[in-house]
A and B are shown apart, each in its own frame.
Chain A
Amino acid sequence: DQQVKQNSPSLSVQEGRISILNCDYTNSMFDYFLWYKKYPAEGPTFLISISSIKDKNEDGRFTVFLNKSAKHLSLHIVPSQPGDSAVYFCAANLRGFGNEKLTFGTGTRLTIIP
Chain B
Amino acid sequence: KAGVTQTPRYLIKTRGQQVTLSCSPISGHRSVSWYQQTPGQGLQFLFEYFSETQRNKGNFPGRFSGRQFSNSRSEMNVSTLELGDSALYLCASSSLITETQYFGPGTRLLVL
Q: List chain A positions with a Cβ less than 8 A from chain B.
A: 32, 34, 36, 41-46, 49, 89, 91, 95, 97-107
Distance between A1 CB and nearest chain B CB, rounded to angstroms: 11
Further 9 A-B residue pairs, CB within 8 A, beyond A43-B90, A49-B100, A107-B42: A34-B100, A43-B106, A44-B43, A44-B103, A45-B103, A91-B43, A100-B33, A102-B101, A103-B45
B58 within 8 A of A: yes
Distance between A109 CB and nearest chain B CB, rounded to angstroms: 12
User: Which residues of chain B from 62 to 112 have a CB within 8 Å of any chain A CB?
Assistant: 88, 90, 92, 94, 96, 99-106, 108
A42–B56 touching, CB < 8 Å: no
B103–A43 touching, CB < 8 Å: yes
Q: Which of A32, A91, A102 has the most CB of B within 10 A?
A: A102
Q: List chain B positions with a Cβ less than 8 A from chain A.
A: 4, 6, 31, 33, 35, 42-45, 48, 50, 55-56, 58, 88, 90, 92, 94, 96, 99-106, 108
A100–B105 touching, CB < 8 Å: no
B104–A43 touching, CB < 8 Å: yes
B88–A100 touching, CB < 8 Å: no
Chain A residues closer than 8 Å to B105, beta-carbon distance: 42-43
Interface residues of A, dominant DSSP: loop
Distance between B41 CB and nearest chain A CB, rounded to angstroms: 9
Distance between B51 CB and nearest chain A CB, rounded to angstroms: 11
A101–B33 touching, CB < 8 Å: yes
B50–A100 touching, CB < 8 Å: yes
Distance between B56 CB and nearest chain A CB, rounded to angstroms: 5
Within the complex, which residue of A34, A89, A100 is in contact with B31, where a contact is CB–CB below 8 Å? A100
Q: Take A41-B88, A95-B99 as given contacts and tell me if A100 and B48 are in contact as well, using a CB distance cutoff of 8 Å.
A: yes
Complex: A36 Cα to B37 Cα, angstroms: 14
Distance between A93 CB and nearest chain B CB, rounded to angstroms: 8
Chain B residues closer than 8 Å to A41, beta-carbon distance: 88, 106, 108
Within the complex, which residue of A42, A43, A45, A98 is in contact with B55, where a contact is CB–CB below 8 Å? A98
